[in-house]
Amino acid sequence: MGDLEVEWRDGGSGGALIDPFMAWYPSAPGFAAGSAILRSMPYDLKDRLVIGVASSAMFDLAESHAVFEREGEEKYRKFQEQHLNQPLPRGMAFSFVKRLLSLNDLSDDAEGNPLVEVVLLSQNDPDTGLRVMKSIAHYGIPMTRAIFMQGRSPYEFIPALNISLFLSANKKHVSEAIKLNFPAGQVLKSAIVDDEQDKDLRIAFDFDGVLADDEAEVVMHKTKDLQKFHEHEVKNVMQPHNPGPLQEFLIRISRIQSAEEDRRRVVPAYQNRLRVSIVTARNAPSHERAIKTLKSWGVTANDAFFLGGIEKAKVLAILKPHIFFDDQPVHLGPAASVVPSVHIPFGVKNEPQAEQMEDDGIEATSKGARTRRQKAPRRPRKSKS
């Protein structure tokens, strides 16, 4: 590890938790210059918005990955060592993470008590991960914690770190995390939205299979009848949907929006930076249950697009979110050509047969398409307020 000052918090599984802020910013407030500090107070993640990102989400690893695939691990190590001081190009989640962390200026104590914490979850060992950490420092991203698990995905640490969103480009890792009912998404090769002059953060969500579970998608999938889908949603309009994989993430985002409102009360000139949009294929009369569901969770969106068959990419190209989440590849393909897009491989639309049929451009039939029901993440239901 060279001369890095490392804070080890090994949970017995061989992983390392590192604080690069100490390592590369020894003069940062709160740290004595050049000293090695072992934290003595536990750092509580309970009330923060915690995001886990793989290096493949933060940076464009195409060149490094090609070396690994072509020449094997030893050459890959050498390649990273030789390019240690060459920052990695920005990846799909870079702009989202940077803007999310900038919202920590809403806290009275941004360093000691941040609203947002982003943890690097890497399958590199600490040595090969050095270039990633140096790249984070190069871009001035205040990510202070990282887990390195050589050759494994550290997604099993999601609950321990109270992570409400894990982003990775690795399809297998994300699918495995979702099967464990963890909130995970695969960043897709997409257009990047990152205008340096624009300080806002725009987040767009599909509703069914992302914020809510796939109950409604199952009805549509089984019946292939839009009328029956609407009847089901109207009949159950007073019954909120069960949470989907990103419900908790939205709730935590909503708390930051409340912090912005608090700031605006004190500083009337303050302009809100965080904007949440729902972009769903639902339309009337099924919109009402979605709105009532969000309300029952204590959250509201700034915008809602009930598109009823209009291509989502058309709206997204104008909305320009810094990240867009959807569970259906059929929407993500066009979306990724205009905005950074994330696949949440949850629910009926991601079961093997449905996925294959969608890839083939064939509408899946209800018979035999459902091999296994995925359950929504187990999380305590919020009291209605």
What is the pattern of x (binds Mg ion, CB under 5 A) and - over residues 11-50?
Answer: ----------------------------------------
Nearest CB to Mg ion, comparing residues 209 and 377: 209
Nearest CB to Mg ion, comparing residues 209 and 345: 209
Q: What is the largest CA-CA distance in the chain?
A: 67
State the nearest-atom distance from the C-beta of 214 to Mg ion, in Å.
7
3-state helix, strand, coil in the chain (%, to 5): 35, 15, 50
Residue in 5, 19, 117, 208 binding Mg ion, rule: CB under 5 A: 208
State the nearest-atom distance from the C-beta of 324 to Mg ion, in Å.
12
DSSP run (H or E) holding 145: strand 145-148
What is the pattern of x (binds Mg ion, CB under 5 A) and - over residues 313-342?
Answer: --------------x---------------
Q: Is 233 in the site for Mg ion (CB under 5 A)?
A: no
Q: For 127, what's the count of Cα atoms within 13 Å in the CB-facing half-sphere?
A: 10
Burial class (CB in 10 A: 0-12, 13-18, 19+), 159: exposed
Query: Are residues 312 and 281 in contact, defined by beta-carbon separation less than 8 angstroms?
Result: yes
Nearest CB to Mg ion, comparing residues 20 and 340: 340
Considering the candidates 206, 208, 213, 327, report the single residue annotated as catalytic.
206
Query: Are residues 325 and 205 in contact, defined by beta-carbon separation less than 8 angstroms?
Result: yes
Alpha helices in 139-266 (DSSP H): 171-179, 215-223, 226-235, 247-266
CA 215 to chain CA centroid, Å, is 22
Nearest CB to Mg ion, comparing residues 53 and 220: 220
Measured CA to CA, the distance from residue 282 to residue 310 in angstroms comes to 10
Going by C-alpha positions, the residue among 84, 344, 44 that lies closest to residue 188 is: 344
Query: Are residues 19 and 148 in contact, defined by beta-carbon separation less than 8 angstroms?
Result: no
Among the candidate windows 201-209, 227-235, 301-309, 363-371, which touches Mg ion by CB under 5 A?
201-209
Would residue 262 show up in a list of annotated catalytic residues for this protein? no
Contacts of 108 (CB under 8 A, 6+ apart): none
State the nearest-atom distance from the C-beta of 210 to Mg ion, in Å.
6
Residue in 117, 206, 248, 351 binding Mg ion, rule: CB under 5 A: 206
Pairing mode, strands 323-326 and 341-343: parallel
Nearest CB to Mg ion, comparing residues 208 and 233: 208
| Long-range contacts from 308-316, C-beta under 8 angstroms, 24+ separation | 308/281, 308/282, 308/283, 308/284, 309/281, 309/283, 312/206, 312/279, 312/281, 313/337, 313/338, 315/279, 316/204, 316/279
State the nearest-atom distance from the C-beta of 209 to Mg ion, in Å.
4
State the nearest-atom distance from the C-beta of 61 to Mg ion, in Å.
28
Nearest CB to Mg ion, comparing residues 117 and 351: 351
State the nearest-atom distance from the C-beta of 206 to Mg ion, in Å.
4
Among the candidate windows 41-49, 205-213, 235-243, 370-378, which touches Mg ion by CB under 5 A?
205-213
Show which residues are catalytic: 206
Q: Name the site residues for Mg ion (rule: CB under 5 A).
A: 206, 208-209, 327
